[in-house]
Amino acid sequence: MAKANAARAGSRASSGAKRAPTRAKSGGRSAAKGEVRHDPEFVQLLTPEGERIEHPEYSVDFTDEEYRGLYRDLVIVRRLDAEATALQRQGELGIWASLLGQEAAQIGSGRALATQDMVFPTYREHGVLWCRGIDPIMPLGLFRGVDFGGWDSRAAKMQMYTVVIGAQTLHATGYAMGIAKDGKVGGDDGEAVIAYFGDGATSEGDVNESFVWASVFNTPIVFFCQNNQYAISEPVERQARAPIYRRANGYGFPGLRVDGNDVLASYAVTRRALDAARHGEGPSLIEAYTYRMGAHTTSDDPTRYRIASEVEAWQQKDPILRMRRFLEQQKIVDSAYFEGLESEADELAVDLRARVLALPDPAPASMFDNVYPHGSAALAEQREQFAAYHAGFEASTVEASTVEGGDH
């Protein structure tokens, strides 16, 4: 595991992908006192108090190092997310969509992915991006407006952030249909697809159309809904009269609800669903029941539509706090570990800030560079017109400066 002073942030970001737990089964550090709790509609392996509990169908078998690694993931992605929020408040980003409160759902599901699986995210999956080993500066360039967040999606096995609500589920379903037709499912080395979206997106036609196609064509896809309770500003009760995961029944594939603030449960259910998809068992829907602790984006004011006592109640279910309690109760770490991790996270955040501020502004005409691989006559004409138009502003600026300076 990388130390705080091991390398620059780019290599550190890659190191986040080196350790990926590989087991989701019975064993390991099991429930306290052999206790078994089973709610068929809610999978939980770790209580808010940090108590490990058993589930008859889902469990994990991690080493102490893997438990520490999961906690490290949670802490670092929250710290980087906080730095991005601060950058936006200081005018360095145009907007930012925070993951605060949703770290466990993202890290748990992100670490459950196999190397060959493909991810289709929204604009908030910063934790999944970290798990895929993508430099965390990549989405910040997008939100700073200096690029399109263009990482190599084929190499990273993670597509670009999608701002159009629900659109990525169509792309994901089509991709999953493709890999099925290519014969890349049906065994342990098969491929699977995961599509992330929020509770608000379930009201979009794109999502429901994706469910239809995924079911009919038995595609190897996991639909992962992070139900953070409020979409943009409306409570989930205005999106669905019944739990979201139950919608899967109407489309003919399985669905379940998991404690989205429990990183262990999020890992276990996602691992199982992805394994089923890779073996040709078709689609499934996971509803990660979590809570958006901050604003929808930095342009939002959540105090206008929810009360403080509700936020305080969810703070007691904080995904990082419960994992820390578990580590302490199991004596997996000591105080020095927490101190060292905090320092590492701070150093990563400081480095990320410096690199964001150093991002160069693109030349205006560069927006034409990658429209077509070999250009086109029409595009060349548009570029010339734009260059002339832009040059007119530059000439006006020079002329205005000359007039203001005058001859003395």
Query: Given 12, 144, 296, 353, which residue is catalytic?
Result: 296
Q: Are 45 and 58 in contact (CB under 8 A)?
A: yes
- What lies within 8 Å, CB to CB, of 358 at 6+ separation is none
Q: 331: helix, coil or strand? A: coil
Q: What pLDDT score does 29 carry?
A: 53
Q: What is the pLDDT of residues 366-393, one digit of tens each?
A: 889 888 998 899 999 999 999 999 888 8
Q: Is the model's pLDDT at 273 over the cut of 80?
A: yes
* 6, pLDDT greater than 60: no
pLDDT at residue 22 greater than cutoff 80? no
Distance CA 27, CA 48 (A): 21
Residue-wise pLDDT for 240-259, tens only, equals 889 999 999 999 999 999 99
- What's the mean pLDDT when you consider all of the chain? 89
Instruction: Give dist(CA 349, CA 347) in Å, integer.
Output: 5
Q: Is 305 a catalytic residue?
A: yes
**Tokens 């429901």 identify what position?**
208
Catalytic entry in 132, 292, 322, 353: 292
Residue 126's identity, in one-letter code, is: H
Q: What is the pLDDT of residues 298-340, one digit of tens each?
A: 999 999 999 999 999 999 999 999 999 999 999 999 999 999 9
Q: Which one from 38, 238, 305, 372 is the annotated catalytic residue?
A: 305
The per-residue pLDDT for 13 is 39
Q: What is the pLDDT of residue 26?
A: 36
Position 12 pLDDT exceeds 90: no
CATH topology of domain 9-357: Rossmann fold (3.40.50)
What backbone phi and psi angles, to 5 degrees, belong to 350?
Answer: -65, -45
State the Cα angle at 176 between 174 and 181, rounded to 5°.
95
pLDDT band at 35 (very low <50, low <70, confident <90, very high): very low
Task: Quote the pTM value.
Answer: 0.86
Query: To 5 degrees, how large is the angle CA 126–CA 127–CA 130?
Result: 90
| Paired strand residues for 195 | 120, 223
Q: How far apart are the first and last CA of the chain?
A: 67
**pLDDT over 90 percentage in the chain:** 79
pLDDT of residue 214 exceeding 80, the answer is yes
